[in-house]
């Protein structure tokens, strides 16, 4: 079978349970009707054929035995004896013979006489060589056989041996039998066809009504599938209430309700735990800002002491100030994530992304002049609506990620363009070693850290990162109704930000 034909068959094949049940009901009924109809037709044909055989057996070869010397002639007036036409003073006996009865006499495998009983006479029939061969091949075994004669059609014939070493053949036409069987087949087809149509429509309505509870279960499952269950407080649909709990649909609905109840409890517990963690992170970050600022202030004050300070002490104070500054930045990042998780709205203002890209790239070039920085900007400015400081933080984090995790001499290209209608694309591409495979699934998760830097350049921690840069960038982009994706192979790593245009 050709692929196109297989594809059409697959499209025509019922897929839903309702369609399968309806088609199954119609097919079973069609098979039953066909079985009953064929059985009736064959039974009637066999019965009528048996009746013909009995008539032939009862009449024997009387009619063909009187054909010797007969010719076409009208029945004589007043001939109540039932004899047909005369020839040489002899007449064919048609008494007890039905209309269409066939008789033939064969001598030396040749038909010497052949006639058919008509309404008022017996008519001589001319047979061709094929008919003679057919009649000569009929066995004289005392049973009837079906033959087809070119001049007469289908006949049920009976052969017997004559007194003069000839063969006598008597037959009855099959046309009335075939008409009766054909009429029965036509009536059965019409009746059974109408029954199939009515049963198909009624069955479809019945199956649809019977499966209506499953539709409610499906609608409930579809509503749950459309919910965002990854975070936040989620309210699941109520019980399906499909009716009889002992039916299959009721059992499925009850199982679904129990499952949704467990899921609702689990989501509520998870949401409570997330709220506690979020509240703890926000409170802890807020509380840490004061001591961290105090440590930083005391370290800077000690460094400004007018008196001589030992070199080791000055080095220790420098490290205290640097780590305090790093901790302060980490606290700010945690507070920002807590605010984004809580769904607090960001500032909404027009932002010239082209100008923002230029400024952030200049800052990255000043921080790492050993990298090769390149810009690819459109001729006209690109403007979006959002928080300019947070969008700048997204680009700064992406540029810092490329700067910290690629060796000196790496080319970093910042490209800004209008992509799909109503969107702009901001990408940061570097030709560094790429993202390790073990980090690709968790790259945007919080506190994901790894050393991807070139040998001799220090560790990730030494670079001041806490594993929050990309997660903060992803959260800020999501708050602007955009997406942040990446693709990475050795020699090419691309981070792409899609934002809706203003």
At residue 410, does pLDDT exceed 90?
yes
Q: Are strands 423-430 and 411-418 parallel, antiparallel or unpaired?
A: antiparallel
Record the tokens describing residue 391, joined without a space. 């969008």
CB within 8 A of 54, min separation 6: which ones? none
User: Which whole-number Å values give the CA distances from 210 to 27, 248, 254, 343, in the listed order?
Assistant: 19, 11, 17, 45
**Same domain for 471 and 357:** yes
**Same domain for 382 and 321:** no
**Same domain for 357 and 496:** yes
Assign 70 a pLDDT band (cuts: 50, 70, 90): very low
Contact 109, 132 (CB under 8 A): yes
pLDDT for residue 497: 93
pLDDT for residue 310: 78
The C-alpha angle 394, 400, 406, rounded to 5 degrees, equals 135
**Same domain for 145 and 101:** yes
Contact 95, 58 (CB under 8 A): no
Structure-token match 């780590």, residue found: 323
Please report whether residue 281 resides in a domain: no
Please report whether residue 279 resides in a domain: no
pLDDT for residue 384: 92
**Same domain for 144 and 204:** no
Which of 145, 173, 201 delimits the end of a domain? 173
Contact 146, 52 (CB under 8 A): no
Residue 294 to residue 298: CA distance in whole angstroms = 6
**Same domain for 146 and 30:** no
The mean predicted confidence, pLDDT, of the chain is 80
Please report whether residue 106 resides in a domain: yes
**Same domain for 25 and 150:** no
- Would the CA dihedral through 376, 382, 388, 394 be positive or negative? negative
Q: SS3 for 347?
A: coil
**Same domain for 258 and 191:** no
pLDDT for residue 11: 62
Please report whether residue 280 resides in a domain: no
Map 236-253 to HEC letters: CCCCCCCCCCCCHHHHHH
pLDDT for residue 457: 38
Assign 77 a pLDDT band (cuts: 50, 70, 90): very low
Please report whether residue 466 resides in a domain: yes
Single out the residue of 499, 293, 310 nearest to residue 416, CA to CA: 499
Assign 1 a pLDDT band (cuts: 50, 70, 90): low
**Same domain for 204 and 153:** no
The pair phi, psi for residue 468, each rounded to 5°, is -115, -10
List the single range of 127-141, 284-298, 466-480, 483-497 with lowest mean pLDDT. Answer: 284-298
Determine the average pLDDT of the residues in 201-210: 84
At residue 148, does pLDDT exceed 50?
yes
pLDDT for residue 12: 58
Please report whether residue 362 resides in a domain: yes
Contact 424, 499 (CB under 8 A): yes
The residue segments making up the domain with residue 257 are: 224-272
Assign 13 a pLDDT band (cuts: 50, 70, 90): low
Buried-exposed string 280-292: b where 16+ CB fall within 10 A, e elsewhere: eebeebeebeeeb
**Same domain for 456 and 385:** yes
At residue 451, does pLDDT exceed 70?
no
**Same domain for 457 and 467:** yes
**Same domain for 165 and 188:** no
Single out the residue of 228, 468, 463, 231 nearest to residue 336, CA to CA: 468
Number of domains forming the structure of the chain:
5
Residue 340 to residue 443: CA distance in whole angstroms = 19
Structure-token match 């199954």, residue found: 24
Within 10 angstroms of residue 66's Cβ, the number of other Cβ atoms is 23
Please report whether residue 217 resides in a domain: no
List the single range of 167-181, 267-281, 318-332, 464-478 with lowest mean pLDDT. Answer: 267-281
Structure-token match 């070869």, residue found: 61
Q: CATH code at 373?
A: 3.30.565.10
Of 138 and 306, more confident: 138
pTM: 0.46
Residue 152 to residue 305: CA distance in whole angstroms = 137
- Helix H or strand E segment including 393: helix 388-404
pLDDT for residue 39: 92
pLDDT for residue 85: 44
Within 10 angstroms of residue 75's Cβ, the number of other Cβ atoms is 20
Record the tokens describing residue 139, joined without a space. 């066995």
pLDDT for residue 320: 83
Determine the average pLDDT of the residues in 221-248: 72
Residue 32 to residue 38: CA distance in whole angstroms = 10
Determine the average pLDDT of the residues in 77-82: 36
Record the tokens describing residue 206, joined without a space. 């019945």
At residue 214, does pLDDT exceed 80?
no
Q: SS3 for 154?
A: strand
At residue 467, does pLDDT exceed 50?
yes
Contact 196, 29 (CB under 8 A): yes
pLDDT for residue 458: 34
Of 445 and 68, more confident: 445
The pair phi, psi for residue 421, each rounded to 5°, is -55, 125
List the single range of 35-44, 60-69, 173-182, 191-200 with lowest mean pLDDT. Answer: 60-69
Assign 412 a pLDDT band (cuts: 50, 70, 90): very high
Within 10 angstroms of residue 219's Cβ, the number of other Cβ atoms is 12
The string of pLDDT tens digits covering residues 318-331 is 888 888 777 777 77
Residue 95 to residue 83: CA distance in whole angstroms = 7
Most confident of 224-238, 298-312, 324-338, 472-486: 472-486
Report which DSSP code applies to 437.
G
* pLDDT > 90: percent of the chain: 24
Assign 360 a pLDDT band (cuts: 50, 70, 90): very high
List the single range of 68-72, 398-402, 417-421 with lowest mean pLDDT. Answer: 68-72
Please report whether residue 116 resides in a domain: yes
């Amino acid at each position: 079978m050709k692929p196109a034909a297989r594809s059409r068959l697959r499209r025509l094949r019922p897929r839903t349970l309702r369609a399968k049940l309806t088609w199954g009901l119609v097919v079973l009924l069609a098979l039953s009707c066909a079985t009953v109809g064929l059985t009736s037709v064959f039974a009637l044909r066999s019965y009528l054929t048996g009746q013909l055989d009995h008539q032939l057996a009862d009449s024997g070869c009387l009619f063909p035995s009187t054909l010797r010397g007969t010719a076409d002639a009208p029945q004589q007036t007043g001939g109540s004896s039932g004899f047909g036409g005369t020839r040489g003073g002899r007449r064919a006996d048609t008494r007890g013979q039905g209309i269409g009865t066939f008789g033939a006499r064969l001598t030396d495998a040749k038909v010497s006489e052949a006639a058919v009983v008509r309404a008022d006479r017996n008519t001589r029939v001319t047979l061709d060589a094929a008919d003679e061969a057919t009649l000569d091949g009929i066995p004289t075994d005392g049973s009837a056989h079906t033959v087809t004669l070119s001049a007469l059609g289908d006949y049920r014939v009976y052969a017997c041996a004559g007194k003069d070493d000839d063969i006598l053949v008597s037959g009855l036409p099959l046309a009335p039998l075939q008409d009766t069987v054909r009429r029965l087949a036509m009536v059965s087809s019409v009746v059974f066809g109408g029954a199939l149509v009515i049963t198909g429509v009624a069955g479809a309505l019945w199956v649809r009504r019977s499966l209506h509870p499953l539709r409610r279960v499906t609608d409930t499952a579809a509503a749950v599938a459309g919910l965002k269950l990854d975070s936040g407080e989620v309210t699941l649909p109520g019980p399906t209430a499909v009716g009889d709990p002992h039916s299959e649909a009721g059992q499925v609905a009850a199982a679904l309700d129990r499952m949704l109840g467990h899921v609702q409890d689990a989501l509520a517990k998870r949401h409570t735990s997330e709220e506690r963690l979020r509240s703890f992170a926000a409170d802890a970050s807020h509380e840490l800002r004061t001591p961290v600022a105090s440590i930083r202030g005391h370290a800077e004050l000690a460094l400004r002491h007018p008196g001589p300070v030992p070199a080791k002490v000055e080095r220790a104070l420098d490290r205290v100030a640097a780590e305090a500054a790093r901790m302060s930045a980490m606290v700010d990042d945690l507070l920002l994530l807590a605010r984004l998780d809580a769904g607090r709205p960001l500032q909404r203002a027009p932002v010239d992304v082209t100008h923002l890209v230029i400024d952030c790239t200049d800052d990255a070039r000043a921080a790492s002049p050993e990298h090769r920085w390149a810009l690819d900007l459109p001729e006209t400015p690109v403007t979006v609506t959002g928080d300019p400081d947070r969008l700048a933080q997204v680009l700064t984090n992406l540029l810092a990620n490329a700067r910290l995790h690629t060796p000196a001499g790496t080319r970093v290209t910042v490209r800004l363009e209008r992509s799909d209608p109503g969107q702009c694309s901001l990408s940061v591409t570097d030709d560094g070693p790429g993202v390790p495979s073990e980090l690709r699934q968790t790259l945007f998760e919080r506190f994901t850290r790894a050393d991807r830097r070139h040998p001799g350049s220090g560790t990730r921690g030494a670079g001041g990162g806490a594993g929050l840069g990309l997660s903060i960038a992803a959260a800020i982009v999501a708050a602007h109704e955009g997406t942040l994706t990446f693709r990475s192979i050795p020699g090419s790593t691309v981070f792409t930000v899609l934002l809706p245009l203003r």
